[in-house]
């Protein structure tokens, strides 16, 4: 038809997205969070290089020694270096995030997507099951699951994953319910696009962002909860250097050797803080009300 | 009623009815029905542009969606090339979808924001296996973009990088991708700036002429509908009020509701002293529509008899139909 083809505004999509994220990271709190998360991830990789001692080596002449130049964070009742144990503990924490948070994200996401998209009895069944799981206090439910599976690090992570699954299912389902009514989904139906393809190509990509934000926010909680299970002796088994397990060691000596429990506690605190700050920043970034202004 | 006695109409709707259940909370007890579409019949001849007009809540969008089987009707028949599309199974439905396509109102909501233009336009080709290779698909996408006046170089861009009018062109290109015979355009220009509206309406006219499309053009703006349509169907509260050739219907409406709608069309003439009929109150609730003629509560000519029976759509002049018992006023 018309000879003059209309050109869109000269703006590239990928770049503007990156620019938006860059602007987001200019906030000091977001930067602090990102710095903590990056440091944490670096630590998991470099623990073997940075740790001054092996986390397992016992030094029975130097048990319960307070922080000093030789042992910056002190030693525990077997003379193990707390700094090294905290450093290696970051690996367990990362594993917990990947396994537990990942498990909840994938399983909860899949359930929420299918429930929201297909609706009907399938939706009712999945969501009532989620309600049942949500009715239990988190740690209690995790305890029950670990008790059933048997105490081990992996089982404790799976337990935490199951505990968090319903939240992801609920959140994604809500998103899917909104997205499946949009005109572009209607257009896809009118074009004869099959239901699975509509679900995966149209609905999922447009409802995924909030659960990514949630996964970031939950990463910190997952670390706390798995540490909690280890603290109770249901997660990481001795002598593995898990923050929760080290914390549990320190409990007995807390009045005489405060450093054993304090440093893993601080590590947990920092990681939770870091992920929460990053998660908050991401949430603000993807908030539709803020996007409207843009 | 039959539009063209000679040839079979491409699309014919007979006694179409769509009721939506009104439910209370999560209980599945139905407490009533929204009578969105009630006893609607009309036909669209091949190559014709039929305008469907009515204010918000008149059921015109529902008619469009039911025709495309995006919503299931409660009753009535939808004949496409003489065959009822209601009982179609999955396979036959997919074949039907290749022949009838929608264009949506809101160009900001009708394109998947996570797919770039090439993906959006290639999807129908993939789903219906209309291209043998990736290169052929890309060539066809470029052709579609040129057809609607967009540059093929921009096929890697995302919808948010285009203006409203350009997005609507992408929506039109998507509808054309499967080479349909019937297009149901649901308020395709009402979300656009007035200056852009003319461009898009002209594009639709041009495409219709060039591709021999049949168009069901749904809108609330009678001026736009008169410009593009051959015939017009006027709806109010789910029912057809008047049917007639576009020009004749707009010059001399036969139904009081059409008259009121027409008087609301702005005329670019400050000296115009025509009477303006301002409808009082809101459109009544379709859950509990008025008895008899649904328009009587806002009609300036209403008499006691209007409440008694639902007026049937009857031919008052050749090709002109109205659902009103009063012949003495218009």
A186 to chain B, any CB pair closer than 8 A? The answer is yes
Which of B129, B146, B176 finishes a domain? B176
Binned at pLDDT 50, 70 and 90, residue B329 comes out as: confident
Tell me, what CATH number does B40's domain have?
A: 3.40.50.300
- B82 and B115 in a single domain? The answer is no
- B140 and B267 in a single domain? The answer is no
The strand pairing partners of B185, in sequence order, are B103, B217
Burial of B164 (0-12, 13-18, 19+ CB in 10 A): middle
Find the radius of gyration of the CA atoms of chain B: 21
The CB-side HSE value for A183 (13 A sphere, CA atoms) comes to 19
- B304 and B190 in a single domain? The answer is yes
Which of B176, B203, B225 finishes a domain? B176
A-chain CB neighbours of B109 within 8 Å are 182-184
- B148 and B262 in a single domain? The answer is no
Q: What is the ipTM of this complex?
A: 0.88
Q: Can you give the residue range of the structural domain that contains B24?
A: 11-99+178-322
- B271 and B245 in a single domain? The answer is yes
The strand pairing partners of B11, in sequence order, are B44, B80
Measure CA B301 to chain center.
Answer: 28
The strand pairing partners of B75, in sequence order, are B17
Which of B126, B161, B176 finishes a domain? B176
DSSP secondary structure letters along A196-264:
HHIIIIIIHHHH-HHHHHHHHHHHHHHHHHHHHHHHTTSSSPTTS--HHHHHHHHHHTTTT-THHHHHH
A-chain CB neighbours of B65 within 8 Å are 186
Bridge pairing between strands B49-53 and B30-44? unpaired
Answer yes or no: is B118 within a domain.
yes
- Cα separation, B220 vs B236, whole angstroms: 11
- B87 and B114 in a single domain? The answer is no
Average of per-residue pLDDT across A163-184:
95
- Cα separation, B160 vs B140, whole angstroms: 23
Bridge pairing between strands B49-53 and B100-103? unpaired
Summarised one tens digit per residue, pLDDT across range A101-124 is 999 999 999 999 999 999 999 999
Residue among A6, A13, A206 whose CB faces B112 most closely: A206
A182 to chain B, any CB pair closer than 8 A? The answer is yes
- B200 and B263 in a single domain? The answer is yes
If you search the block for the tokens 């998507």, which residue do you land on?
Answer: B174
A-chain CB neighbours of B117 within 8 Å are none
Binned at pLDDT 50, 70 and 90, residue B277 comes out as: confident
Please state the domain extents for chain A. Answer: 29-47+69-288
Answer yes or no: is B187 within a domain.
yes
Report pLDDT for B2. 45
Answer yes or no: is B154 within a domain.
yes
Answer yes or no: is B2 within a domain.
no
Of B172, B170, B171, nearest to B211 by C-alpha is B172
Are B97 and A191 within 8 A, CB to CB?
yes
Report pLDDT for B1. 45
Query: What residue spans of A53-198 are helical by DSSP H?
Result: 82-96, 102-118, 120-134, 138-149, 153-179, 183-190, 195-197
Which of B108, B115, B123, B192 to mutate against chain A (most A CBs within 10 Å)?
B123
Summarised one tens digit per residue, pLDDT across range B27-50 is 566 678 899 999 999 999 999 999
Answer yes or no: is B104 within a domain.
no
Report pLDDT for B3. 45
Residue A174 predicted with pLDDT over 70? yes
- B315 and B170 in a single domain? The answer is no
Answer yes or no: is B330 within a domain.
no
- B172 and B186 in a single domain? The answer is no
Report pLDDT for A1. 42
- Cα separation, A223 vs A139, whole angstroms: 13
A-chain CB neighbours of B167 within 8 Å are none
Report pLDDT for B180. 96
Range from A23-32, A113-122, B265-274 carrying the lowest mean pLDDT: B265-274
- B144 and B78 in a single domain? The answer is no
Query: What residue spans of chain B are helical by DSSP H?
Result: 60-67, 90-97, 117-127, 134-147, 164-176, 194-211, 222-228, 246-251, 256-263
Are B166 and A197 within 8 A, CB to CB?
no
Pick the CATH number of A29-47+69-288 from 1.10.3720.10, 1.25.40.10, 1.10.760.10, 3.30.70.980: 1.10.3720.10
Of A2, A9, A30, A8, nearest to A277 by C-alpha is A30
DSSP secondary structure letters along B56-108:
TTSSHHHHHHHHTTSS--SEEEEEETTEESTT--HHHHHHHHTTEEEE-S-TT
- Strand B182-186: give its sheet, edge to edge: B100-103, B182-186, B214-219, B49-53, B231-236, B239-245, B320-322, B314-317
- B134 and B163 in a single domain? The answer is yes
Task: Let me know: does A93 contact A243? Beta carbons within 8 Å.
Answer: yes
Task: Let me know: does A61 contact A73? Beta carbons within 8 Å.
Answer: no
The DSSP output letter for B44 is: E
Of A138, A117, A140, nearest to A196 by C-alpha is A117
Number of folded domains that form chain B: 2
Which of A3, A4, A6 to mutate against chain B (most B CBs within 10 Å)?
A6
Q: Chain B residue with minimal CA distance to A183? A: B110
């Amino acid at each position: 038809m018309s000879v003059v083809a209309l050109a869109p505004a000269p703006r590239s999509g990928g770049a503007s997205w990156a620019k938006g994220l860059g602007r987001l990271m200019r906030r000091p709190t977001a930067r602090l969070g990102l710095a903590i998360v990056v440091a944490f991830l670096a630590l998991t990789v470099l623990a073997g290089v940075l740790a001054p001692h092996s986390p397992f080596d016992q030094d029975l002449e130097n048990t319960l020694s307070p922080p000093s130049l030789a042992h910056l964070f002190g030693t525990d009742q077997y003379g193990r270096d707390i700094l090294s144990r905290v450093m290696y503990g970051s690996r367990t924490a990362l594993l917990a995030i990947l396994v537990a948070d990942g498990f909840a994200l994938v399983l909860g996401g899949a359930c929420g997507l299918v429930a929201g998209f297909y609706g009907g009895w399938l939706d009712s069944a999945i969501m009532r099951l989620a309600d049942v799981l949500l009715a239990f206090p988190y740690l209690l439910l995790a305890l029950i699951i670990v008790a059933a599976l048997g105490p081990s690090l992996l089982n404790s992570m799976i337990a935490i994953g199951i505990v968090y699954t319903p939240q992801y299912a609920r959140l994604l389902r809500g998103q899917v319910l909104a997205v499946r009514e949009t005109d572009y989904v209607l257009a896809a139906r009118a074009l004869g696009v099959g239901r699975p393809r509509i679900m995966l190509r149209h609905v999922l990509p447009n409802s995924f962002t909030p659960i990514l934000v949630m996964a970031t926010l939950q990463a910190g909680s997952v670390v706390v909860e798995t540490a909690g299970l280890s603290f109770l002796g249901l997660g990481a088994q001795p002598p593995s250097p898990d923050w929760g397990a080290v914390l549990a060691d320190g409990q007995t000596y807390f009045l005489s050797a405060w450093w054993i429990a304090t440093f893993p506690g601080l590590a947990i605190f920092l990681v939770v803080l870091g992920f929460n700050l990053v998660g908050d920043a991401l949430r603000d970034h993807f908030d539709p009300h803020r996007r409207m202004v843009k | 009623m039959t539009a063209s006695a000679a040839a079979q109409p491409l699309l014919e709707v007979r006694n179409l009815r769509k009721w939506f259940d009104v439910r209370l909370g999560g209980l599945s007890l139905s407490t009533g029905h929204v009578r969105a579409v009630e006893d609607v019949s009309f036909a669209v001849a091949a190559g014709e542009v039929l305008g469907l007009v009515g204010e918000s809540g008149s059921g015109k969008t529902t008619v469009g969606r039911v025709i495309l089987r995006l919503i299931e009707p409660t009753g009535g028949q939808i004949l496409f090339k003489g065959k009822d599309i209601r009982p179609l199974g999955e396979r036959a439905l997919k074949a039907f979808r290749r022949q009838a396509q929608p264009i949506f109102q809101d160009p900001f909501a009708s394109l998947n924001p996570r797919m770039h233009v090439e993906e959006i336009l290639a999807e129908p080709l993939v789903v219906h296996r209309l291209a043998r290779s990736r290169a052929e698909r890309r060539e066809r996408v470029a052709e579609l973009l040129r057809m609607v006046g967009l540059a093929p170089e921009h096929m890697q861009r995302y919808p948010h990088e285009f203006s409203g009018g350009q997005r609507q062109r992408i929506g039109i290109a998507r509808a054309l991708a499967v080479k349909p015979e019937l297009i149901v355009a649901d308020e395709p220009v009402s979300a656009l700036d007035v200056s852009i509206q003319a461009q898009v309406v002209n594009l639709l006219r041009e495409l219709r002429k060039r591709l021999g499309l049949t168009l069901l053009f749904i809108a609330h703006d009678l001026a736009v509908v008169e410009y593009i349509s051959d015939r017009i169907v006027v709806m109010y509260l789910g029912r057809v009020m008047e049917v007639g050739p576009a020009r004749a219907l707009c010059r001399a409406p036969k139904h009081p509701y059409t008259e009121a709608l027409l008087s609301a069309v702005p005329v670019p003439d400050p000296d115009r002293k025509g009477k303006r009929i301002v409808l009082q109150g809101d459109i009544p609730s379709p859950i509990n529509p008025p008895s008899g003629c649904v328009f009587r509560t806002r009609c300036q000519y209403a008499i006691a008899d209007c409440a008694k029976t639902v007026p049937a759509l009857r031919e008052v002049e050749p090709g002109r139909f109205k659902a009103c018992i009063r012949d003495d006023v218009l």
